[in-house]
Amino acid sequence: MRYPLLSALLALACAQAHGAANVDAKRITAAGSDPANWLTTGRTYHEERFSPLTAINDKTVAKLGLAWYHDFGSTIGLEATPLVADGVMYTSGVWNILHAIDAKTGKSLWSYDPQVPRHWMRYMCCGPANRGPALWRGKVFEGTIDGRLIAVDAATGKLVWSVQTTDTSKPYSITGAPRVVNGKVIIGNGGAEFGVRGYVTAYDAETGKQVWRFWIVPGNPAHGFEDKTVEMAAKTWRGEWWTYGAGGNAWDAFAHDPALNLLYIATGNGAPWSRDLRSPGGGDNLFLSSIVAVRPDTGEYVWHYQEVPGENWDYTAVQQMTLADLQIDGKQRKVLLHAPKNGFFYVIDRTNGKLISANNFVPVNWASHIDLKTGRPVELKPANSYDDKQASLVYPAHFGAHNWPPMSYSPNTGLVYIPAQETSWPYTHAKEMPPWRMNWNTAFATNAKPATEPAPPLKGYLTAWDPVKQKEAWRVDHASVWNGGTLATAGNLVFQGAADGRFVAYGADSGRKLWEMPIQTGAMAGPISYSVDGEQYVAVAAGWSGSIAIIGGMAPTHRATSRILAFKLGGTTALPPVPPMPPLAPPPQTASKEVIARGAQLYGATCRLCHGLNVESGGMTPDLRYMSAETHKAFKDIVLYGARAKDGMAPFADMFSEQDADAIHAYIIDRAHAARTGASQ
């Protein structure tokens, strides 16, 4: 397009002619007959992430090329599923900045910056992520990392209303995408490991007024229960769980069945992770690690299915839920499909919450199977016989067999496409909580003896799972463990970003690789497909992100700016070159071995959450081994007193002394020298 401004104005005029973000229940419910648009995060209320478009298909995909890209000017990772309504793409970029983009050209129509406090990143496990907005009747809705829900005019990008959905004196955060059901904006929150109590709230889409709140875990009984459901849940807890917050936060998935008028909430892990510490004497700890069905108009409880009673391993069940109608044993069943962190694939009757079948889609050793009579896992020893003295290797790890990168479901093949991973962790649980508050606190026992068995290698693959047979139909092995969300299309294709910086299309029926393109970074978010003026596009938010990327540490190969990539048949746009790494020039080491070791311990407990294991950043935060001379000089000002708070580096003077900062600095210098000489941990 020779006249980008004119094109942007035309797209805006076109959107206004339709009414910008002219989205309502009727339109989302009829999404099957509206293949051009992607109006809600999973495309439909059933969250299939399936596009009925067929122009890009297994015969034509070889001609797929980049149509446009839209840069966000930062390496901070992206997890958003963009939405497209009538030729306009709405998405969140970095730091919760909302963008309206011409979906045909990639040109900006407007952006809105909610000015999130960058230091809030300190209260988040895995970076300032956001999984995208929601649309409803001319407004764009987004949850912000500091716990606000904002509504922005879809035509102009001006703020309409904003509500604080959380207590800002507590380390709550929001990373999930809202859903709008029956005129109510549904939003959850995160922060379990930081010691908060999870809940879901519904707000009136027009006014921002609170309509209902569903508490996932009970609070202090002495303060009275909010409702009968909380009272019921409290009977499954012991001890003084409320002093730890207890968790259960619904930080990602929701699904909605308009015919049954049910809203499904997927809930998170317990806080702290150790059930003995959280609820001494046992109990199922409702509604941790569960799927809960509520009435979307009132938040009234209808049924629940708890996947991990007395959750003990950070086994969140917040991962994407997909609603499907399947033929099982000769009967048509309305089911909910779920592949949570714990490694089992669940098929649940979504009318009543009864388990139909479950099978593990990766190797697991925490449970032998799920008992279909009781619906409960049969836990295994010795995998679970760990404590504060002895670690035990459990798989999957807290990174999960499947995490937030979404799966997709094709009604054509009947298969579910899961970004699966094999992970393990030497679990230990302390007998007492450390005194840290407002900080990540898993209550690991750091002095426990290591696990006796060696950790199996990390593996990542795309698995096509048959939910009726409960077995794998095909698999594509990946080079690395942490890979992107998937999109299935009626063109017999599955799209997925890989950790090694490729975007790939596979045959949906066969798993055969049909097309790939290097995209300079890991695309972890769920891809989408849409069409404008009759031409089909596939788009993805590309920007390396997520817990393994940020905490686990990865080679710093992903240095490209985070951006939206849109592909079409015959696209010929090229990406600009990737900026080079800065020089690796650490100052000489002057600290003693003891000081370096102490620094390693402090780094591992705190800094690692953003800068990566062994000071190996995945690229979305600065790789500290490559600090400049100027940064080395200002180190204490940055770490203790907030000299770079505006960039997201919070001050830590409340936790660390100047001596602590010096020790951390010494450890980083040690790692930089190791990188320079090629020595690894």
What is the contact surface with Ca ion in residues (CB under 5 A)? 269, 314
Backbone angles phi, psi at 303, to 5 degrees: -155, 165
Looking at the Cβ atoms of 493 and 609, the one nearer to Ca ion is 609
Looking at the Cβ atoms of 191 and 296, the one nearer to Ca ion is 191
Looking at the Cβ atoms of 12 and 265, the one nearer to Ca ion is 265
Give the Cα separation of 523 and 496 in Å (integer). 8
Q: Where are the alpha helices (DSSP H) in 247-348?
A: 275-278
3-state secondary structure of 181: strand
Looking at the Cβ atoms of 314 and 662, the one nearer to Ca ion is 314
Q: 323 - beta bridge partners?
A: 336
Looking at the Cβ atoms of 98 and 551, the one nearer to Ca ion is 551
Q: 134 - beta bridge partners?
A: 141
Looking at the Cβ atoms of 229 and 316, the one nearer to Ca ion is 316
Query: Tokens at residue 624, please?
Result: 């500290």
Query: Tokens at residue 386, please?
Result: 């760990």
Give the Cα separation of 211 and 263 in Å (integer). 14
Run of H or E including 107:
none
Task: Work out how close the CB of 288 gets to Ca ion at its nearest, in angstroms, rounded to a whole number.
Answer: 11
Cβ within 8 Å of residue 145, ≥6 positions away: 95, 96, 116, 120, 121, 124, 128, 130, 173, 174, 175
CB 65 within 8 A of CB 568: yes
In the residue annotation, 314 being an active-site residue is answered as yes
Query: Tokens at residue 24, please?
Result: 């309502």
Give the Cα separation of 679 and 681 in Å (integer). 7
Task: Work out how close the CB of 202 gets to Ca ion at its nearest, in angstroms, rounded to a whole number.
Answer: 23
Query: Tokens at residue 551, please?
Result: 């905490």
Cα 615 off chain centre by: 23
Burial 571-600 (b: 16+ CB within 10 A, else e): beeebeeeeeeeeeebeeeebeeebbebbb
Write the DSSP symbol of residue 173.
B
Which among 86, 252, 314, 670 is annotated as catalytic? 314
Task: Work out how close the CB of 389 gets to Ca ion at its nearest, in angstroms, rounded to a whole number.
Answer: 24
What is the end-to-end Cα distance of the chain in Å, rounded?
A: 51
Give the Cα separation of 628 and 644 in Å (integer). 14
Task: Work out how close the CB of 270 gets to Ca ion at its nearest, in angstroms, rounded to a whole number.
Answer: 9
Looking at the Cβ atoms of 343 and 586, the one nearer to Ca ion is 343
Give the Cα separation of 88 and 90 in Å (integer). 7
Looking at the Cβ atoms of 269 and 306, the one nearer to Ca ion is 269
Task: Work out how close the CB of 260 gets to Ca ion at its nearest, in angstroms, rounded to a whole number.
Answer: 29
Looking at the Cβ atoms of 157 and 270, the one nearer to Ca ion is 270
Give the Cα separation of 42 and 141 in Å (integer). 15
Task: Work out how close the CB of 271 gets to Ca ion at its nearest, in angstroms, rounded to a whole number.
Answer: 8
Mutual angle of helices 593-602 and 658-677, in 10-degree steps: 100
Let me know if 324 is exposed, middle or buried by CB neighbors in 10 A (0-12, 13-18, 19+).
buried
Give the Cα separation of 530 and 646 in Å (integer). 36
Query: Tokens at residue 59, please?
Result: 């015969």
**Is it true that the peptide bond before 133 is cis, omega within 30 degrees of 0?**
no
Q: Where in the sequence numbering do the catalytic residues fall?
A: 314
